[in-house]
Amino acid sequence: GVEILEKAPDKSLYKLKFPNDVVVLDVSDGKVAWIEDPRGGYHEYKGAALASRLRRSSLADHSKAILLAATGKVLGADKIGPHSTYVVEYSSSKDVTSRLYFDADTGFVDRNEDIISTPQGPYTVQLDMEDYRDIEGLKIPFRMRRVEKGAIFNIRIIQVKLNPVIDDTVFAKPESASR
């Protein structure tokens, strides 16, 4: 299971629970991001992975993406599984080219693809979204598939709470972790 906490504008915590009571925390405080492994070790994100992680935790970025897409160009049509989509490409920053794949029937985003230019070459992050449900007037995808640097994560949302009170200490890096 995965528990996700997000706090505007740029804090997020992903708590991944595996069999045998193994828990991994993936945290961003808006400036740095790290993973805490089950043995208590801390591994900071660096380079393009850090840029991608900070971008993912920026709640404002989600709304900016739609506005920026309006300034982009339509690349044409494509298929995502059984869905016909329209593909829009735009640049959200000088090093990032993004593509949104809008479902031709619903208008929902079926895929978001970010290509980050790095000295080592392009770094692609793909997020496929489906099973949209209405939560207090917002359409939220309850199934997602994230592909980044060969790693594939299948995500199924079981509960969404909007605007819960979250203390900032939840996103603080423990003192024992390297800075």
Q: Residues 82-138: pLDDT tens digits?
A: 999 999 998 877 888 989 999 999 999 999 998 988 888 899 999 999 999 998 888
pLDDT of 84: 97
Query: Is the dihedral angle over the CA atoms 20, 167, 49, 160 positive or is it negative?
Result: positive
Distances (CA, A) of 137 to 60, 112, 120, 133: 18, 22, 42, 9
Q: How confident is residue 64, by pLDDT bands cut at 50, 70 and 90? A: low
pLDDT of 177: 53
Nearest to 102 by CA among 65, 58, 152: 65
Q: Which amino acid is at 125?
A: V
Q: What percent of the chain has pLDDT above 70?
A: 92
Residue 59 has pLDDT above 70, yes or no: no
Q: How many CB atoms lie within 10 A of CB 168?
A: 9
End-to-end CA distance of the chain: 29
